[in-house]
Structure 1
Amino acid sequence: MKVRVAIASVLLLLVSAISMPAMAQTKPESQAWPNRPITIVVSFGAGGTADILARMIGEELSTALGQPVVIENRPGAGGNLGAQTVARAAPDGYTLLMSGSPTHSVGPHLFKNLSFDPMKDIPPVAMIATAPNLLVVNSNLPVKSLKELVQLARDKPGTVTFSSAGIATSGYLAAEMLKSTAKLDMSHVPYKSGPEAVTGVLSGDVSFIFFTVPALLPQVKTGKLRVLAITGAERSSLVPDVPTVAESGFSDFDVQAWFALFAPKGTPEPVVQRIAAEVEKILKRPDIREKMAKLGAEPRFMNPKQLTDFVAVESPRFGKLLEGAQAAK
């Protein structure tokens, strides 16, 4: 009897051993995720707001998910080089994109021959933050408010200029919106990068620029640049005395940069929802909110549907603006 029991026990163990690998093989990938490093491709260069936010969020996601998060910068073509890389990546949750309006709201209106559809091929996972732009002028320009800048542009048509890091950036869009709203005759001077565009204003070669708050504050504090206004619906805690563009006489003027995570089409829904949930938790933490505030960014979470709806409203608005800008040339 004991021999039969022993044989039965051995057989049971063998059956269990054989069935366990089979069960492991049928375990859904979304449940096993993540079991290796995750890469966040940043569609802009190192040191910029998108890059800093990607590293900040990536570090926290690494802790939450128990896997390394690697940041890979792939700037170029208005952010589309990095976006294309992610569009072609395996939809397994191990490759994400950090980008924003340049690729998903603006790009489709500027680049008609893209090999991918941003919203369809790299749909949203979670919005992370928004960031307003400061409007600054060279200190030698005889204006001390946005109204005075507008009046100068009206008094001397064609003499006031603005710089930007490219026509897909929020700074360019803000300037074009001001130009369109106030019906001004102003010229755009494009530069290869944000720092170069700021240098253009510092040297006096260009009249003004809309650009991110942290990048401009040092020059504002030294008196080399004069700040006139800030985009966004509310004033910034970094420059509380600076009025918004809307407060300066242009209602409903709200052009901000925003930053979000995206994933290749077909990424398992449980994985997308897990990342979104973790991002939402991270953005609620006081220490993260404080770090973002120092960066001039405002934590702003949106889930995949909310961000999809947001782009559906923003993209046509920018498309119309860009169409008008091109027609005016």
Structure 2
Amino acid sequence: MKWFRLLAALVVLVPAIAAQAADWPDKPVRMVVPFGAGATADIMARIVADKLAAAIGQPVVVENRTGAGGNVGAALVARSDPDGYTLLLSGSPTHSVGPHLFKKLNYEPMKDVPPVAMIAAGTNLLVVKPSLPVKSVKDLVALARSKSEQLTYSSAGIGTSGHLAAELLQKASGVVMRHVPFRSGAEAVTAVMSGEVDFMFFTLPALMQQVEAGKLRAIAVTSLTRSRLLPNIPTVAEEGYPGFEALAWYAVFAPRGTPAAITARVGGEIKKILAMPDIEEKMLKLGVEPDYMNAEELTRYIEADSKKWGELIKQAGIAAN
């Protein structure tokens, strides 16, 4: 009898889900960004939301829900109805790094908020204070080795992409440098410019103006290939550390159970959006490059990314406050 009742329930449920997917969307869609207004993810969400709204014929409203390194917003989406009317635009903080930084999360990122599509990825830039006598990664590592843990680097906080990139360089080179975390990226940048701290890894948009003004010296990017925005700056990999990569990537996710027809539609529209010339131009200005992956490809990518950062975080003993 239990099996009969279950079968009967499925007979009713499946057509209902199919009808729901066929009618989607018949009201505005919410795109949650778990970071503050003005952050790269926020600006990107608004760019994508405008195009997605035009494609689906309904408004796509960006909503910022900050806190706990992105986990507040991600948890909100995890608890949302899986009806296609709530999406998440996030990246490594919630799906690759956060699960290893925080002792306990009230949701399982890949299970409760699975991937829909990759949007873009951006490199970090390694910069040093102008007075530091280094012009390459090799110089920096040599200086760090000679100073015996005295060289310092700043970041926007524990577990941020800049912090982890520096930890990855320490692991690859075998040298030890001292981390000086700040409450914000702006403070971390200012600390290097003033000479209070020796160097840092950070996103391109936050550093380009200071580099062009000579207030910071750029010596490497953390992507596997050179950035189109800085073609004359070598990669860390080129400087003797093959495979070195530390990217900030951005993707769309949806609550578990969202009908496959809806997530496929969203993913398909995102692929079309990323092929638009004006979108590429806007993203390059943000310091990122369009990098589409479908749900299956993105799942594999995140699994590998999570394993990489998880091992580093465990080895380095990093934990969120």
Alignment counterpart, residue 313 of structure 2, candidates 296, 306, 322: 322
Alignment counterpart, residue 23 of structure 2, candidates 22, 25, 32: 32
- 1:66 equivalenced with 2:57 (yes/no): yes
Q: Aligned equivalents of 1:32 and 1:235: distance in 2? A: 44
1:158 paired residue number? 149
1:146 paired residue number? 137
Structure 1 residue identity aligned to 2:82: P
1:243 paired residue number? 234
Map 1:54-133 to 2 at 5 A. Answer: 54-133=45-124
Q: Aligned equivalents of 1:77 and 1:69: distance in 2? A: 25
Q: Aligned equivalents of 1:293 and 1:88: distance in 2? A: 33
- 1:41 equivalenced with 2:35 (yes/no): no
1:226 paired residue number? 217
Task: Give the TM-score of the pair, scaled to structure 2.
Answer: 0.92
1:17 paired residue number? none
Alignment counterpart, residue 134 of structure 1, candidates 125, 130, 143: 125
Structure 2 residue identity aligned to 1:323: K
User: For 1:251, what is the secondary structure of its paired residue?
Assistant: coil
2:275 paired residue number? 284
Map 1:183-194 to 2 at 5 A. Answer: 183-194=174-185
Q: Aligned equivalents of 1:280 and 1:311: distance in 2? A: 18
User: For 2:121, what is the secondary structure of its paired residue?
Assistant: strand
Alignment counterpart, residue 266 of structure 2, candidates 256, 262, 275: 275
Alignment counterpart, residue 299 of structure 1, candidates 273, 290, 293: 290
CA RMSD of aligned residues (A): 1.5
1:167 paired residue number? 158
1:16 paired residue number? none
2:5 paired residue number? none
**Contact 1:93–1:267, Cα closer than 8 Å, also in 2:** yes
**Contact 2:17–2:259, Cα closer than 8 Å, also in 1:** no
2:11 paired residue number? none
Greater displacement, 89-98 / 186-195: 186-195
Decide which structure has the larger Cα Rg and report it.
1
Q: Give percent identity, aligned residues only.
A: 57
Flag the 1:26–1:208 CA change in 2: closer, same or farther, 3 A: closer
**Contact 1:78–1:166, Cα closer than 8 Å, also in 2:** no
User: For 1:28, what is the secondary structure of its paired residue?
Assistant: helix
2:257 paired residue number? 266
Q: Deviations 1:221-276 (Å, cap 9, x if unpaired)?
A: 11110001001011112211111111111111011010001111111111100000
How far did 1:26 drift?
Answer: 9.3
Greater displacement, 72-81 / 219-228: 72-81
How far did 1:166 drift?
Answer: 2.5
**Contact 1:246–1:252, Cα closer than 8 Å, also in 2:** yes
Structure 2 residue identity aligned to 1:231: T
Greater displacement, 137-146 / 124-133: 137-146
Structure 2 residue identity aligned to 1:270: A
User: For 1:132, what is the secondary structure of its paired residue?
Assistant: strand
Q: Aligned equivalents of 1:320 and 1:234: distance in 2? A: 24
- 1:254 equivalenced with 2:245 (yes/no): yes
Flag the 1:222–1:314 CA change in 2: closer, same or farther, 3 A: same
Unaligned runs of 5+ in 1: 1-24
How far did 1:108 drift?
Answer: 0.8
How far did 1:27 drift?
Answer: 7.2
Q: Aligned equivalents of 1:213 and 1:112: distance in 2? A: 31
Q: Deviations 1:49-84 (Å, cap 9, x if unpaired)?
A: 111110110010010011111111122211101111
2:8 paired residue number? none
User: For 1:45, what is the secondary structure of its paired residue?
Assistant: coil
Structure 1 residue identity aligned to 2:240: G
Q: Aligned equivalents of 2:256 and 2:184: distance in 1? A: 30
Q: How many aligned positions are there?
A: 304
User: For 2:317, what is the secondary structure of its paired residue?
Assistant: helix
Q: Aligned equivalents of 1:194 and 1:258: distance in 2? A: 17
User: For 1:300, what is the secondary structure of its paired residue?
Assistant: strand
Structure 1 residue identity aligned to 2:151: V
Unaligned runs of 5+ in 2: 1-15
Flag the 1:35–1:189 CA change in 2: closer, same or farther, 3 A: same
Greater displacement, 159-168 / 210-219: 159-168
- 1:201 equivalenced with 2:192 (yes/no): yes
How far did 1:113 drift?
Answer: 1.0
Flag the 1:264–1:151 CA change in 2: closer, same or farther, 3 A: same
Flag the 1:26–1:111 CA change in 2: closer, same or farther, 3 A: closer
